[in-house]
Amino acid sequence: MKLIIKIIVISILILNIAACDSKTAGKTESKKSMPNIVILYADDMGYGDMSCQNTESKINTPHLDKLASEGIRFTDGHSSSGICTPSRYALLTGNYHWRSFYTFAKEWDQGYFRKNELTMAEMLKKQGYKTAMVGKWHLGWDWNSVIKPGAVRKLQPVGNTRKTTYFSEDIDWSKSIPDGPTDHGFDYYYGDGTINFPPYTYIENDRVTEVPTEHLAMKTERPLEGNWECRPGPRAKGWDVFESFPKTTNKAISYIKKQKEGVPFFLYFSFPAPHAPIVPIKKYQGKSKAGSYGDYVLQVDDVVGQVMEALRNQGLDDNTIVVFSSDNGPATYMLNRIDVTGHNSSWKLRGKKRDVWEGGHRVPFLIRWPEKIKPGVISHETISQIDLMATFAKITDYKLGREDAVDSHDMLDIVEGTSKNNSIREATVHNTNQNMWVLRQGDWTAVFYIREKNPKSPELYNLKNDIGQSKNVAAQYPERVKSMKALLDKIRDQGHSAPRLN
């Protein structure tokens, strides 16, 4: 009898140990299945620059087309603004930029994040991710902490104009530079901050890799197309604007090669291209039918291919979410390009960079995730880059607070194709300056001019019938204009628009 009891007790212990091992294995498996996340963020790339999205494109983009064919392509995806800094801020916070600011970070500007504001990198880091950023930051640094006492900006001739800037001797380069990527959730950073803003040197984490000893005036140099656009300021010896994109590409690829299955990582690779100065390296020069800008887009496309190859070689591509998009529409140089080459970076859309019309903020938007997204999906759902924050929170099981990602909509059901409702957004707000606002609601988009004196009359367009926004029908639908203005005011005044906060 005692032997039987002993056997029963031992059996129970074995079962309990097995159960514990099963739970532990489940946790380990759960950790392993957490997807890696890679965001590839182009700069000033238009909706019509990808060949899979524009049948009349003069640029062949095979790697981007392949990325689109392997995942979901959004035909109605948007950045928050028609300019760079606001869109980058919104992408990384899930908040409309206009709740905090409107303009872009200028050279020597301070940081643009509010105190204790949650970023995507901080959120993912809390969920066990390794986080890295490579490339264009353009969200300010705490330059005041490294500028020497008494230093003042001096006038510097730039072509026919004059700008003020600091010189190398005005900066204490031995100090770390606070309030950059590594102070906002990124474990690692490498880049030159903003390719056309000083200082012209590479920053790794929070320190320059080489002290600038020269001064870049750019009075005589010219890019391959458009204006030079490099502001005057300190430059490291030998710094070459043509090498910025290749150098950051090598760093991004190198980072991927160090990753292994089982430890999730987040890589935000922010391209300097095809923003001006338009500087494709020789390998791509003359290879497109859209001038040097088209050649630069070819370089963007090839870099996307290099990133995807690196993921495949590491065996990470199946369990990695890859997002490709752009911070805003194409720069004004596109207008001359249409006349010279016939290539329209805005496709059929009205507007360009800095505009509130569709061409200013409707951008390329691709997501690839083989474990969850069926290949070749085309979605006409209206989405915004600010929606990535809530979507990644859902994927990684992060509980957002009431002050976090206040405008971000979870679009996981749309991405996975399980949504029963084709509209996750009641409305979307677009803004590039404090005087012009757009409310998008379904097929309708309304432009409101909000000024203290003599505001212009509103504009109303039906994008289903008029994608080029050529027919203002505001006078025909006064009640719709009124209701859309009321909704815009509500979203602006209540301080949030995310459904979870209603």
Q: pLDDT (tens digit, 9 = 90+) per residue, 144-158? A: 999 999 999 988 766
**Is 448 domain-assigned?**
no
CA dist., res. 361 & res. 73, Å (int) = 16
In 10 A of CB 273, how many CB atoms?
27
Q: pLDDT (tens digit, 9 = 90+) per residue, 40-67? A: 999 999 999 999 999 999 999 999 999 9
Residue 218 has a pLDDT of: 64
CA dist., res. 78 & res. 224, Å (int) = 29
In 10 A of CB 26, how many CB atoms?
10
**Is 73 domain-assigned?**
yes
Domain, as residue range, for 235: 34-425
pLDDT at 16 over 70: no
Kindly report the pTM of this predicted structure.
Answer: 0.92
CA dist., res. 43 & res. 41, Å (int) = 7
CA dist., res. 237 & res. 209, Å (int) = 12
Q: How many residues does the chain have?
A: 502
Q: pLDDT (tens digit, 9 = 90+) per residue, 27-39? A: 434 444 799 999 9
**Is 383 domain-assigned?**
yes
**Is 194 domain-assigned?**
yes
Q: pLDDT class for 221, splitting at 50, 70, 90?
A: low
Q: pLDDT class for 26, splitting at 50, 70, 90?
A: very low
Q: pLDDT class for 127, splitting at 50, 70, 90?
A: very high
Residue 453 has a pLDDT of: 78
**Is 46 domain-assigned?**
yes
In 10 A of CB 238, how many CB atoms?
8
**Is 3 domain-assigned?**
no
Residue 5 has a pLDDT of: 46
Residue 383 has a pLDDT of: 96
- For residue 231, report the phi and psi dihedrals to the nearest 5 degrees: -75, 150
Q: pLDDT class for 220, splitting at 50, 70, 90?
A: low
Burial class (CB in 10 A: 0-12, 13-18, 19+), 450: middle
**Is 500 domain-assigned?**
no
Q: What is the mean pLDDT of residues 321-343?
A: 97
Residue 219 has a pLDDT of: 59
**Is 265 domain-assigned?**
yes
Domain count for the chain, please give it: 1
349-371 b/e (C-beta count within 10 Å ≥ 16 → b): bbbbbbbbbbbbbbbbbbbbbbe
Alpha helices in 34-161 (DSSP H): 62-69, 84-93, 120-126
Q: pLDDT class for 188, splitting at 50, 70, 90?
A: very high
Q: pLDDT class for 160, splitting at 50, 70, 90?
A: low
> CB of 166 within 8 A of CB of 130?
no
What is the CATH classification number for the domain harbouring 315? 3.40.720.10
Largest CA distance in the chain: 103
Residue 8 has a pLDDT of: 44
pLDDT above 90 covers a percentage of the chain that reads 83
User: In terms of pLDDT, which residue wins out, 357 or 223?
Assistant: 357
CA dist., res. 129 & res. 121, Å (int) = 9
Q: pLDDT class for 314, splitting at 50, 70, 90?
A: very high
Alpha helices in 141-279 (DSSP H): 244-257
Alpha helices in 342-424 (DSSP H): 358-361, 387-395, 412-416
Residue 298 has a pLDDT of: 98
In Å, what is the CA distance from 266 to each residue of 77, 210, 232, 245, 306? Answer: 22, 27, 34, 20, 17
CA dist., res. 72 & res. 145, Å (int) = 44
pLDDT at 25 over 50: no
Report which of 194, 303, 301, 193 is spatially closest to residue 253, judged by C-alpha positions: 303
Q: How far from the centroid of its chain's Cα atoms is residue 148's Cα? A: 33
Classify residue 231 by its DSSP letter. P
Written as six digits, the tokens of 141 are: 């640094």
